[in-house]
Amino acid sequence: MAAVDLRSDTVTKPSAAMRKAMADAEVGDDVYGEDPTVRRLEERVADMLGCEAALFVPTGTMANQIALRSQTRPGDEVIIGQGAHCWRHESGALAALAGAQTQIIGSDGTFTAAEVRAAFKGDDPYQSPTKVVAVENTHNMAGGICWQRAALTEVVTAAHQLGMAAHLDGARIWNAAVAAGETEKQLAHGFDSVSVCLSKGLGAPAGSLVAGSRALIKACHRFRKMHGGGMRQAGVLAAAGVYALDHHRARLPEDHANAKALAEALAGAAGLRVMPPQTNIVMIDVERGTASAVIAQARDAGVLLGAAGPQRIRAVTHLDVDRDAVLRAAKVIAEAAAKL
C-alpha cells in the first residue's frame, strides 16, 4: 500500500493533465521578457490580487525575500509575526541578503495594530528604522490559521500611518480565501507586496509570484536577477501554475474537510491533543514521549508526518491524499501515541 504522505502540501506530484499542459506550453526566453505563458500567468495573478503587476519566481522564499529587500535598506527593520516563514525558514536570508533586522511580535502568528504601533521604531539615530510589517496568511507554523479581514485592514492601516510598507506572505492565500469566504483580492487589499505559491495546496511542481505596484515589481525584477532567479523557457513551469489555478483551486475545500476529518478522528485519542484546523494543516501535540517517537512509528506503518516542535506533529492534507488515506493515518497516529 502506498504511503500516506502528510509531511506537507508540497509533496504532490504533477498529474498527467498538468504534465500535458506543461509539455504543450508556448514558451520563450523569459529573461528577454519573451515567454507568453509567464506573461499570462503574471497578468492573471496580478489581477486576482488587485495589484498592478506580478513577477514569476521559482520559490516562495525568493518571492518573500525580493519583496522585503525591495522595501528595505541594510540596517532597516521588518516586524514579523511569531514563527513566520520569512523569519524562521528562509535560511536567515533577511539578515544575509537584505541586511534587515527583524522584530517578532504577537504570540500565535497573528498580531494587532496596537502591537505594530508599540513595536515601531521611528526616527532615532540609535535604532533600526522599522520599514515593513510582514503578515503570513494562512500562517503555516501556527497551524494554517487565517487572519480576520478586519484585523488585516487594521494592521495595514497602522503600517501606512507610520510610514511603513505592508507585506503579505500569501503562500497559502488560496486556502485563506476559502476558509474566510473572501476573495484573494479582498485579503490582499492594501498590502504593498504580496507573495503567493503555486507549489503548495495548488499542486504545481514549482513556481511563486510576487505582486505589487509596477514600481515595486521593477525593483523585484532586479533583485530576482541578483538572487539568481531569472529563468529562461519558464513557461513550462508557468503552464503548471495556470493549470493549477484552473483546476486545483476550486477543490481546496476538500483538503480542509479532510484536515477536519483527521482532527475529529484523533479527538479523544490517548496522549494526543489536536488543534481544530482552520484550513489544511493539523497540529497534533504529543502529551507523553516525543513527536519524533510518534513520527518514527507512523513512518514504519506507512504514514509520513512532520515535526513542528519537540512535542508537536504537523500533518498537512493536499490533493494527493483522500478521505480514506487521512482516516488510515489517524488510526496509525493514535496507535503510535497509545504505545508511548
Ligand X SMILES: Cc1ncc(COP(=O)(O)O)c(C=O)c1O
Binding residues for ligand X, per CB under 6 A?
59-61, 64, 85, 136, 140, 169, 171, 197, 199, 208
Exposure letters 244-255 (e unless 16+ CB within 10 A, then b) = bbebbbeebebb
Q: Are 171 and 208 in contact (CB under 8 A)?
A: yes
By beta-carbon proximity to ligand X, the closer residue of 61 and 193 is 61
144: closest CA among 308, 290, 327, 336? 308
- Give the up-direction half-sphere exposure of residue 184: CA atoms within 13 A in the CB hemisphere: 24
**Is the separation of the CB atoms in 164 and 130 below 8 Å?**
yes
Q: Which is nearer to ligand X, 104 or 293 (CB)?
A: 104
In the complex, what is the shortest distance from the CB of residue 324 to ligand X, in angstroms, rounded to a whole number?
A: 26
Between helix 235-247 and helix 36-49 the angle, nearest 10°, is: 40
Least distance from ligand X to the Cβ atom of residue 332, Å: 24
In angstroms, give the least distance from the CB of 206 to ligand X. Answer: 8
Alpha carbons 306 and 314: distance in angstroms, whole number: 5
Cβ contacts of 280 within 8 Å, gap of 6 or more? 9, 144, 172, 175, 201, 252, 255, 256, 258, 259, 316, 317, 318
- Asked if 124 and 70 count as a contact pair (C-beta separation under 8 A), the reply is no
In the bound state, the residue with its beta carbon closest to ligand X is 60
Rounded least distance, CB 313 to ligand X, Å = 17
- The minimum distance between CB 96 and ligand X, in angstroms, equals 15
Nearer to ligand X, 60 or 277 (CB): 60
Which residue is listed with cell 512509528? 297
Smallest separation (angstroms) from ligand X to the CB of 25: 20
Contact assessment for residue 176 and residue 137, using Cβ atoms and an 8 Å cutoff: yes
∠ Cα 280 184 53 (to 5°): 130
Nearer Cβ to ligand X (14/289): 14
Q: Alpha-carbon Rg of the chain, whole angstroms?
A: 20
In angstroms, what is the minimal distance from the CB of 145 to ligand X?
A: 11
For residues 91 and 161, which CB has a smaller minimum distance to ligand X in the complex? 91
Report, in Å, the least distance between residue 169 CB and ligand X. Answer: 5
**Which CB atom, from 169 or from 255, has the smaller least distance to ligand X?**
169
Give the Cα separation of 155 and 18 in Å (integer): 38
Residue closer to ligand X by CB (options 162, 259) is: 259
CB of 327 to ligand X, least distance (A): 25
- As a whole number of angstroms, the distance between CA 119 and CA 103 comes to 8
| Nearest residue (CB) to ligand X, 269 versus 319 | 319
Q: Are 100 and 121 in contact (CB under 8 A)?
A: no
CA 79 to chain centre: 17
Pick 82 or 140: Cβ nearer ligand X: 140
